[in-house]
Each structure stands twice: as structure tokens, then as C-alpha cells.
Structure 1
Amino acid sequence: MSTLSPVPATSGAPVAPSGSRRSRRLRTAAATLGAGSLIAALGAAPASAASAPTGPYAGMGTCPLSSASLQDSNNGAVGCVVAVVNGGSFTIGSHVVTIPASSPITTTFGVYWPNNGPTVSFPDGNSSEIFSTVAPTDGKELTAAPLDVPIPGISNFWPGVTSAITQIELAGPITNFAPLAAGESYPVFKLPIKLHLENAFLGPNCYVGSNSAPIVLQPTTGTTNPPPPNKPITGDPGTINFGNDPNGFGDAIVGFTGATLVDNALSTPGASGCGPFGTFNWIVNLLFGLPSAAGNNTVTFSGVNTTLAVDSDINDLTSAITASEK
């Protein structure tokens, strides 16, 4: 596992080949990362709905294959992604919010990489394309069950009164998806979120983070480089599996199972909209130690299972997913 410092991504990095050469490069990179049998990835792949594809395409029924971005003829690669976070925690100062295995977080989206698009190169010689993302057709780029978060200093015997029911929500699109950064000390994606706190006294519009001032997560499976007092911590890329479409189409399928993603360089803004006209913002800030500067917060996503189906031809990828539904 790499223990490198983050390397900035630039569009001036070495240009990646397009078309079939680009697909071969993805295959080579996946193999370099330790890819083996795809069986484990397929077994862990989530199903989103009864009509969704099965097998390696499970959960990809809402992939935006017909979107203008994925249909662009200038693309060197297009794909569909499903990722499920099966556990972990948020640490804001000394307060810990646990993500139980019974409340997974699921993200689904389409990805595209233009010919000669941005890449990032790593000191160990590996590199990754940096994909742009497109929201799924149902608009549910992130889904998560509400969490029952105890209020510090109060015995939690009445959920929603002695605790805050907390919903993790997107505060903007997922960006900078770099799947082959797995094992490197570089963010796998950039995820802006906000925490919606619901409590009998806080009202319906109490948030930590917002669309204009989100909590920005940039988790890595490598080693972090946080400001003090936090110290570097290391994630785990898990098991990386690689295969091809079972029906003979040309797309590559990469599965990452059991990964751990970490970020302890993020900051957390103060509360807003809590109580009438925000009159209880100060109470939430006091109880949870907000705002909390970078170096005092940590996010860990554990048991992360991700499936990526990628092709140089959108028609080929569409045919593969369509065939899987039959």
C-alpha cells in the first residue's frame, strides 16, 4: 500500500490514449493494482430495484446512458458506477457519529472521460484518469438511511428529542472520480455533503453544511496528509477484482470490495437554520463543537464495495447493460 503525499491533478499530465488503447490501459492499470477473480465483487454488488440489471451490472439500472455527456462522441471512455458504504464514522472534534452496517450509504452515477482528458500520475509510476460524473436518471446520486445521533451530555432515551435524527444529503455533485487511485494517497472522489438535523426543538431546516458551504469529503484509500493536531491515517483499497462483460461485449468491469476510505483533513462549518430564524444555531454549535477547523475532524468509510463498468463506446456499454436485463 502506498504512503505517498497527495499529488495535485492537472490536465497537463501525460495524455492518455483514446478508444481501444485507453480500454487496454485501464485493464493494465487494474491488473497492476492486484486484480483477480471478479466473483467476490459480483457477490457484493448491490441491487437497487427489481427491474435493475443483475450480476456485474447490479444497481446500474438508473445509469444515465442517454445523457448528452455520456453520448458525446469526443469521449475516450464512459461508464457506470455503484458504490455502497457499509459502515464507518464521522468524528467532529471529539464527538463521534457512527454509520452502522444496517444503514448503508449508496452512491450511483455515470462517468465520462473526454479524449485527452485530465489524468493524475503517481510517484510509483501508476496513473489514473479523472472522470467527470453525471447524476442517475432518478436523481438519487446518494441515498442514506437517517442516523440517530445522541446529543452530547444527554442520555438518549427519546430519539428525535434527546437526539438528532441526522440525514446525510448531497450538497453538490460528486466530482473528480479517480477509480485507479485505489491504494494511492490521492482522493478517489470529491463529495460535498450537508447534515440535516431533525429534532423536536430544532425545526425542519437545521443543517450543518449547506449547498454554498458544504462539508467537502476527499477520502483516500492511501495515507492522508492532514493539518495538526490530526496525524496521518491510512485507508485500505480492499480486494480489487477485474473482468470483462460475461456476454462478450467490450466493456471492462472493475470491482473494489471491502475497501476503507479515510479523510482527516476536512473542516466542518457551523449550524444554520436551527430553531426559529436560526435562534438555536449557537446551541448546536456549542454541543457539537462547531465550526470545527481542519485537523480536528475525521471521516472513515468502511466495508466499501464499488463496481465500475467502463467502455470506450457508449453503444457497447448500453448494449451490455441492456443484455443483462434480459
Structure 2
Amino acid sequence: MAAALALVAVTAAPSSAATSQPSGLYTGMGTCPTSSTQMQDPDQAVVGCVVATIGGGGFTVGSTQVNFTSPMTVAFGATWAKGGPTVTFPDKTTATLFSTVAPTDGNELQSSPLDVPIPGLSNFWPGVTSAIVLIEPAGPITDFAPLSAGENYPLFQLPIKLHLLNAFLGLDCYVGSDSTPIMLEPTAGTTSPPPPNQPVKGNTGAISIKADPNGFKSSVVGFAGATMVDNALPVPGSSGCGLFDSADWIVNSLFGLPSAAGHNAITLSSVTTTLAVDSSDSDLTNAINASRK
């Protein structure tokens, strides 16, 4: 009865559902691509919507350390087809490897600009004595393994590139690219980096599983206060800096690029992740729409 009433309400007031936002357990899932061909494919055994907020942390490239000064958000859809891929851990447990679907607005990763001081300079003029750095995706999230929490295995793979904005570097200065990205493979378990880096351990935080409050089949899995780490990643050199790449060598020299694996690290702290999963895309859609306010 609750499911029928919710469906009638959504059908009767499409303009309200389209403009209002999901709330409660489904907060932040307004761009989940439930209408995509991939999520509507009847061969999917599980479909899901993911939204994560990264509250802090930072990255180290060689001797340069940068702290995240504002939250970042990650959002996407997830699917697992019948008989789809899994990974087996040393303790013989297995985890599903989800495929991902870009959100309806195309923004899998949203972050605010970072003000990164240039080594050797006193930073008193942002964008001149520092570089404004934008963390941008260099490809889609892949190999999403939410059940790997606590295992020494990446939660996902995310290729990124760092867009450096500075008065002398032009508008196309990047560290990493779509073809040669910085590949993040963060884990809540323990890393296995090459030397001189040493293994570091993440934290799964508090895990919760809740049923849909309106009687739909969806389940909502939450991870609150997690810490994810990766200190085995290499960082490539810069490109597009200055006129005809004339300043690439300056950026590489100042920041010690390219930087081999074992000399870099990233920490994602205060991570809150919500994963809504269902065996039916239409049921998941109705569950999200029923929460809209």
C-alpha cells in the first residue's frame, strides 16, 4: 500500500518531484542516473546510487604537502550484472565489483580550488606566488568494491589530473592528463607501497544498514567517519604549462615531478558514504522520489 501511494504521488505531481531534492537516507542522490540505459538493463542483479563526502585529508607529492581545506563530493550510479565480476580476498571472502554510471550532471567529483604555495616563495599573492589547483577527474570511477571495507584492497579506482592556475603558467597547465592520469586507489585497509614509503592503515568508520522507510525494497548502507589512504601512486610530470609548454620544466623542478611511486601519498579523512542498493531500478527510483521534499 505504501509503495502504491508513493507511486501515485510521484505520477500525480511530476513537476514537484523533478524540482525537489531527495532527503533522509537518500540525501544527495538527486543526480543518480536511474533513468540511464545501463541501470535500467533487466540483466542487472543489483543497482545502486552512491554519494560520498570527503571532509578532510590531503596529498603529498615528493616533499610538497597540501591539505584539503574544504569538502569534496563524489556521486555516481552503480550496477552489477548477474554473474558479474568479483574479487576474492586472502581470507577467502569475496566482494562484488560494481560497474559505475556517471551522474546526470556529469560531475562524479566536485571539489573546491586549493591554494598551493610555490616552494621557496612566501605566499602573499594567490595565483602569483602560489598555484590555484583544481582536482579534476581524468576518467570514470571503476572497480567500485563497497564490500572491500576493512580489507587491504582499493574501494575504487579514480583517475584524476591536477589543473594548475597561475599568472605565468597559462590556463592549460596540468599534472596528469586523461591519457596519463594520477590513479587513486584508496583503501580503508593497509597499503603496500614501494619504499621509502611505509604501509599505512585506513579506517572503515562506523557501518550501518537501514531499510527504506517507505516500504520499498531498497537498502541503504552507510559508512561514517572513514579514512582511506593510498601511498603507492606515482605522479607524472606536467604538461601545457606556459607558452608552447615552455614552463613545464619549471613546474617539474619546483615540485619534483615526475615523482615515482613510494614518494607520494593521499589521505581522504572524515569520509561519509551512502550507498542505496536495490534489485530493481524502478523500485530504487520510486524510493528516491518518495523521499523528495
| Post-superposition offset of 1:125 | 4.0
Q: What's the counterpart of residue 243 of structure 1?
A: 210
Counterpart among 244, 255, 258 of residue 291 in structure 1:
258
Equivalence for 2:86: 119
Q: Distance in 1 between matches of 2:19 and 2:151?
A: 36
| Inter-CA distance 150–161: structure 2 relative to 1 (3 Å threshold) | same
SS of residue in 2 equivalent to 1:284: helix
Structure 2 distance, partners of 1:234, 1:191, is 19
Distance 1:271 1:311 in 2: 43
Supply the distance in 1 between the matched residues of 2:126 and 2:74 (Cα, whole angstroms).
27
**Counterpart in the other structure of 1:177:** 144
Q: Is it true that 1:83 corresponds to 2:49 in the alignment?
A: no
Which whole-Å deviations, capped at 9, do the CAs of 1:139-183 have from their partners, x for residues lacking one? 111110000000111110000000000000000000000001111
TM-score (norm 2): 0.92
Count matched residues.
276
SS in 1 for 2:195: coil
Residues 209-228 of structure 1: pairs in structure 2 closer than 5 A: 209-228=176-195
Q: How far is the alpha carbon of 1:310 from its aligned partner? A: 0.3
Deviations 1:228-249 (A, max 9, x none): 1111110001111111101111
Which residue of 2 is the match for residue 58 of structure 1? 27
Distance 1:109 1:217 in 2: 16
Identity of aligned residues (%): 64
Is 1:139–2:119 an aligned residue pair? no
The equivalent of 1:192 in structure 2 is: 159
Counterpart-to-counterpart distance in 1, 2:93 and 2:290: 33
Provide the rounded CA distance (Å) in 1 between the counterparts of 2:194 and 2:21: 43
Aligned structure 1 segments of 4 or more residues deviating by more than 3 angstroms: none
The answer to whether residue 249 in structure 2 is matched with residue 263 in structure 1 is: no
CA drift of 1:50 comes to: 7.8
Gaps spanning 5+ residues in structure 1: where?
1-48
Aligned partners of 1:50 and 1:60: how far apart in 2?
Answer: 13
Q: Deviations over 1:22-71 (max 9, x none)?
A: xxxxxxxxxxxxxxxxxxxxxxxxxxx98320111001011000101101
Match of 1:167 in 2: 134
The alignment's C-alpha RMSD in Å is 1.1
Q: Residue 46 of structure 1 corresponds to which residue in structure 2?
A: none
Structure 2 residue ranges without an equivalent (≥5): 1-17
Map 1:272-283 onto structure 2 (within 5 A). 272-283=239-250
Q: Does 1:68 align with 2:37?
A: yes
Equivalents in 2 of 1:241, 1:121: separation in Å?
23
Aligned to 1:29: none
> Secondary structure of 1:317's partner?
helix
Q: Does 1:92 align with 2:48?
A: no
1:323 corresponds in structure 2 to: 290
